Structures are given as C-alpha cells and as structure tokens.
Structure 1
C-alpha cells in the first residue's frame, strides 16, 4: 500500500519529465518556451502544456486546427517571427484560450472567422504587424475580451461596428496607425472601456459625440495627431477621466468650456500645439488635477483664471513658449499645493511683485532662459519652502540685495549667463552671494558683464574700492562729454541750478553736496575743487574710471582744481587726433632709429681716427729711437 501511494504521488512528475523538444525549454509548471530554427508547432505533451511561447522562430504559417491537440493550453505567444499567414481555422479546436499574443510578426490579413470559437479569450495582442484593414466580423465572438492591442500597424479606416460585440473591453490601443477619421459611434458599445489610446495617427478632426457613453473611461490619449479643431463639449461625457493628452496636434484655439465636468482629472497635456489664445472659461472644477503641461505654444499671455479651479495642482509646466511675454498678476492665485513651476525658455522680461505670493508650497521654480532684467525685492516673500531656483541666462543687470531673504530653505540657486552691471547698486546682491556661496551651483560663472574694466570679474569678489563706491566716476557719453556721478551722494537744492547749467553747456550731469563743487567755464571741461565739502580720494587725481569706451583722457591738477579733457571715440576730431598721435609716434620711432644710426657712424669714425693717430705716434717714436742710436 505504501508503494502504491508513493507511485501515485510520482506519476505526475514522471509524466512531466517526458523529453522536451529540440530548441525548447520545458518548465515543470506547464510552460514551454521555444526559439530559433522552428518552422512548425513543436510536438509537445498536450496534457501538461498550459503556456506556449514561440519567440524569434521561422514559423510562417499557422495551419488549420494547429492547437486542437492542446486541450489545456490557456496562453499562446508567437512573437518576433516570420509569421505572415493564418489559415481560416487555425485556432479552431482551442476554445479554452484565454490569452493570444501575435505581436511583431509579418501579418497583414486575418480571415474574418478565424476567432469565431474564442468566446473565452480575454487578451488579444496583434501589435507591430502590417495589418491594413480589420473585418467587422473579426472580433464578433469575443464577448469576454478585455484587452485588445492593434497598435503599430497600417490601419487607415475602421468600420463603425467593428467593436460592436466587445461589451467587456477595458483596454483598446489603436496607436501608431494611419487613421484619418473615426466614425462618431465607433466606441459607443464599449461601456466598460477604461483606457483608449489613439496617439500617433493622422486624425485631423474628432466627430461630435465620439466619446459618448464612455462614462467609465479613465485614460484618453490623443497626442501626436493632426487635430486642428475639436467640437464643443467633446469631453463632457467622461466624468471618470483621470488622464487626457492632447499634445503635439495642430490646435490653434480651444472652444470655451471644453474641460468642464472633469472632476476626477489628474493629468492634462496640451503642449506642442500652435495655440494663440485661450478662452477665459476653459477649465472647470478640477480639484484632483496634479499635473498640467502647456508648453511649446504661440501664446503671448494667459487668462488670469486659467488655473483657478486647480487647487491640488502640484506640477505646472509652462515653458518653451517663445512668444509668452507677460503673466497676469493673479495667474497663480489659487495653487496652494503647487510644488514645481517651470517658466523657463519663455520671453518674459518682467514679473509682477505679487505673482508668486500665493505659492506657499513651491519647492522648485525654473525661470531660466527668459529676458528678465531684474526682480522685485518682495517677489519671493511668501515662498518660504523654495529649495531650487534657476535664473540662468536671463538679462539680469541688478538684483535687490534682500530678494532672497525670505527663501530660507533655498539650496540650489543658478545665476550664470546674465548681464550683470557691476556698479555700486550691485553691492547688495554681491554681498549676499559672498555670504551664501554654498547655495549657488554656478558660483564661478556669476561674473560682471559691464563695465569693460570689470568684465568676467566674479560678483562674489567685488569690493567697494573696485566699484569706486563713494568716489566720483567719469562716464563717457556718445558725444564725447563726461558724466561725473557719485552714487552714494545725494543731490542738494543748492547744486541743482549749477548742475543744470553744466548739463546745458557740456551735456553732463553731476551731483554734489555743495554749490561750489562743479563749474564749467568752457565746453569739454569738468572741474572738481578741493575743499568743496567732498571727501575725494587722492588717487582720483591719478586715476580716471572709464565706463563706456576707450576715449582719450587727459587730466591736470592745478591750483586746487582737477582739469579733465576728453576726446570722443568717434568723429572727425577723434580721427584727426588719432592720426596725429600715430604720426608723432612714427616720427619718434624714426628719430630714435636715426639717432642710433648717427651714433654708430660717429663711433666708427672716431675708431678710424684713433687708429691713424696711433700709427703716427709709433712712427715718431721709431725716428726718435734711431736718432738716439746715431748720437750714441
């Protein structure tokens, strides 16, 4: 008895341990996977095969009743093979099939009744083939089908009743085909449908009522088509919709109230449409929406109430709109839960001080690649949770020194690629940068753009002395006149008349604290007198600060006055002076060379004369010696 009991226990294992066909792998649980040079269904044990996977084979034809012997076969997959023909009764005799996957083959035509016995089939995947048309009878018997994938084929049209019997269908994928239009009642019988994918087709319009009766639909994908317009109220019958994608179409405008009655919507994409304007009444009550994508459009501005009904929005992508120049003050009025806001790559040149005042949960703000020249000092007043801020590649010239004071948890700030004007007004933000270097990700690239003498100088290294704050700076105007500015001094009433007269005579503007500090008796001169009540650094007499160009400057100190003369960088007089300078320079060089040559010639003559004189002396000495010898 004990032996019989053990034998009964081992019989299934003996049965399952039957030889596995060549190029197949058999699993004890009843799955078989075959690959390689196989041209027909391999001989398998029909009593133990529940799952059959034929991947990357050379099977070209499925013959009639090919699977009739496999009475227990529930799942069949033939993929990435050369399969191009299915005979009319290929699946007859296998009504028990629950899942059939024929993806990535060369199928182009299906016999109308080939699935007539597959009433229990739940999953059918025919994607990535060459199917051009689908008979209205093909899915007729599949009353229990829940998933149908026809994507990546060549289907250009569908009959209105092709899905008529699929009352239990939950997922339908028609993406990557060549559909140009859809019958308005094509989906009316799909009452249980939850996901409909129509992306990457050639749809130009959508018929009114196309999505009627799809009250259970959760996902609708319409992106990457050629849709130019949509009828009003198209999406109203979809109260359960969670995700709606209309991106990458040809929409120039959207009818008012289009997105009303979508209370459960969590994600909406409208990017890559040539939208020129949006109606004020566009978005209905969307308390659950979390993501909105509205970029790469032709919008120049937005309705102030566009996001007013999206109180739970967490990510707003409003970037790459190269015509977007302004944003309404109250645009972000009602987004208390927004965490990420992207406004990068727009054409914004200024922002309202109250624009972000209601974004108390904001953590990431992208403002890079705009044309912002400055920011209001209180713009981040209520963004106490801001952690990342990108301001790179704008036109920023100044920033208030306290602009980031309220961003107490800021961790990542980018400021590179701006046009910082490094005069005394930059010191506030420069000192803040110097005190918070760890917060700036591109610290070494935050450099002066102007004036020329400080170009590429790092803001964090700026000092009052370098900027000559409190010291008069001479700025050259286009006319060649001089503007003398003392940034830290205030203009007094006593000087206003004098400064005005000076401006009339020399096109200059100067502010000094006393009435005797500036005079202009002759055009082209500015005088600053010692003892005038201004504390002037003595270095001023030797150093002139040039802000706007390489004009020729000469200064003299005489009798308690500093005399400054300028020559404009352009014009006839400037050219004459430059030519004269060059002539004088060349003349000097010629004179130096001539002098050197003359010295050389003179030295040579002296050397010859010296040699001749030495020879004469020697001859005289010889005569004297000879005369001495004769006398001796």
Structure 2
C-alpha cells in the first residue's frame, strides 16, 4: 500500500525497482533526472494505480516496460523528451484510463500508437511538435472521452483519423496550423459535445464538416481566417449552445447572409465577451455581425 515520492535526483530506473514493495499503489518520481527505464523496472508491481514520471529526462519508453502494471489507471509522462511512440510501449495496460504526455518531443503519431489502451478515457498530447498523424493513429481507443492536441504543428487531419473515437466527448485542436478541414476530417465523432479549433489558419469550412455531430453543444472557431461560412451548417446543430466565431476577418457581403440570418434566430450564445465583427467591405468595418440585417449585406456588382 501507500506511495513513494519524487525529487530525489534519480537518473535510472533499474530492473525490479519496485520488487521489494509489491503492494505499492502510487509512485511519484516527478522532477528527477531519469533518463532511462529498464524494461523490467516495474515488474511485479501489480497493484500500482498511479505512476508519475513528470518532468524527467526520458527520451524513450522501453518496449513492454509497463506490461506488469495490470491495475495502472494514471500514467503521467509530461515534460520529458519522448520523441517516438510505438504500441508495444503500452502493451498490457488494459486498465489505463489517463495518459498524460504534454510537453514532449513528439512529431508524428504512427498507426496503432495507443492500440493496447482499450480502457483509456483521457489522452493529453498538448504542447508537443506533432506535424502529422497516421489515419490509424487512434485505433483501439473506443472508450476515449477527452483528446487534447492543443499547441502542436498539425497542418492537416487525415480523413477518418478520429473514426475509432466513438465515445469522444471533447476534442481540443487549438493553436495548430490547420488551414483546411477535409469533409471527412471529423467523421465518426457522433458523441462529440465540445470541439475547439481556436487559433488555426482555417479560411473556409466544408458545408457538412460538422454534420455528423448531433450532440455538439460548444464549437470554438475564433482566431482563424474565416471570411464567410454557410449559416445553414449551424441550423442542423440542434444542441448547439455556444459558438465562438470572433477574431476572424469576416467579409460582410451577401454570401454571409445565411450566417447573419441564423444569428438573428438562434438561441445559442454567440462569442460571449467579444462580438464577431466585419473586416470588409470598408464601410462595414468594425460593425458587429449581429447588428447587420440582410439588407445591409451588399453583393459585388
């Protein structure tokens, strides 16, 4: 039972490091100088539920290194230098519910990277350097409810990449480099309730890109490069309660009339705190979208 705590300047985890305390339930090794983990470091620790390795110098995880941790629920690996993920690194972890990997050096999510983690509910990959993901990166994560990819370098999302995530309720893609979404980029997320796409480079949205998300209640698109969107895409979102569309360069011409019309009818809260405003044409610059009426939206002659 009990726990062991961190900040001891440990540099290596040797084989059988926990053999003498087989009933230990939590191990805190954060803020040490751990660089390497022996593949058998955790052998025998079958009652361990929490392992905290936050803020060490780990660059790689040993294959099958956690396979004895049959009861592990929480694995914290944030603020290390892990650059590569492979499925065998997580072999045997059938009960893991929370995997924290923020502030590492990941650049690519390969196929089946998390496949053994069939009970995972929370996956935090924020503040890495992820530029690409395999279309099969999230295979096996049928129980996942929260996925955080905030602050990475994603330029594109492969069609169907999120399809395995049939339980996902919240997806955070803020602060990436996404300039477009393919029509199937968000396919399969029919349980999704909150979607965050703030501070990307999105300049248009396919008409049905949010079409398969009947439960979506919060959508954040602020801080992009959207000039116009088809307001009809929002009329189908019957559960939408909050929509953030401020800080976009809105082109207030007749192409925006369906959005302005929808804004006048909806009960959803629109960009609380900061009203979305026109950038063009010059005579409407700084006008808030909600103050416009269809008649004011001039079409180019």
Taking a change above 3 Å as real, the CA distance of residues 87 and 189 of structure 1, as seen in their structure-2 partners, is closer
How many pairs were matched up? 288
Alignment match, 1:173: 100
- What does residue 592 of structure 1 align with? none
- Aligned match of 1:105: 32
- Which of 258, 266, 288 aligns to 1:330? It is 258
Q: 1:203 to 1:373 in 2, by over 3 A?
A: closer
The answer for the alignment partner of 1:273 in structure 2 is 200
2:237 pairs with 1:310? yes
Of 62, 81, 85, which aligns to 1:154?
81
Instruction: Output the CA distance in 2 between the equivalents of 1:120 and 1:302.
Output: 53
Which ranges in structure 2 are unaligned for 5 or more consecutive residues?
296-301
Change (3 A) 1:347 1:118: same
CA distance in 2: counterparts of 1:344 and 1:159, whole angstroms: 44
Query: How has the CA–CA distance of structure 1 residues 339 and 228 changed in structure 2, closer, same or farther, with 3 Å as cutoff?
Result: closer
Work out whether residues 211 and 233 of structure 2, in 8 Å CA contact, stay in contact via their aligned partners in 1. no
Partner SS, residue 208 of structure 1: coil
Aligned equivalents of 1:82, 1:207: Cα separation in 2: 37
Q: Residue 312 of structure 1: CA displacement? A: 1.8
Whole-angstrom CA distance in 1 between matches of 2:78 and 2:267:
37
Q: Helix, strand or coil for the counterpart of 2:5?
A: strand
Please give the alpha-carbon distance, in whole angstroms, between the structure 2 residues aligned to 1:288 and 1:372: 28
Is 2:250–2:280's contact at 8 Å kept on the other side of the alignment?
no
The CA deviation at 1:270 is 0.7
CA contact (8 A) 1:324 1:346 kept: yes
Choose from 190, 197, 204 the match for 2:124.
Answer: 197
Q: CA deviation at 1:374?
A: 11
| Whole-Å separation in 2 of the counterparts to 1:159 and 1:110 | 16
Q: Of the candidates 13, 17, 20, which is equivalent to residue 93 of structure 1?
A: 20
Larger Rg: 1
Q: 1:339 to 1:300 in 2, by over 3 A?
A: closer
Query: In the aligned structure 2, how far is the partner of 1:214 from the partner of 1:374?
Result: 41
Tell me the distance in 2 between the aligned counterparts of 1:92 and 1:196.
29
Tell me whether 1:139 sits opposite 2:66 in the alignment: yes
Does the C-alpha gap of structure 1 residues 306 and 169 become closer, same or farther in structure 2, counting only changes over 3 Å?
Answer: same
Q: Counterparts of 1:216 and 1:373 in 2: how far apart (Å)?
A: 39
Tell me the secondary structure at the aligned position of residue 195 of structure 2: strand
5+ residue gaps, structure 1: 1-73, 351-368, 380-632
RMSD: 2.7
The whole-number CA distance in structure 2 between the counterparts of 1:255 and 1:373 is 27
What is the distance in 1 between the residues matched to 2:81 and 2:289? 52
The verdict on how the C-alpha distance between 1:230 and 1:376 changes in structure 2, with shifts beyond 3 A counting, is closer
Shift of 1:345: 5.9
Q: Which residue of 1 aligns with 2:269?
A: 339
TM-score (norm 1): 0.43
**Corresponding position of 2:299:** none
Q: Secondary structure at the match of 1:235?
A: coil
Asked if residue 370 in structure 1 is aligned to residue 278 in structure 2, the reply is no
What is aligned with 2:227?
300
- Following TM superposition, by how much is the alpha carbon of 1:378 offset from its aligned partner in structure 2, in angstroms? 9.8
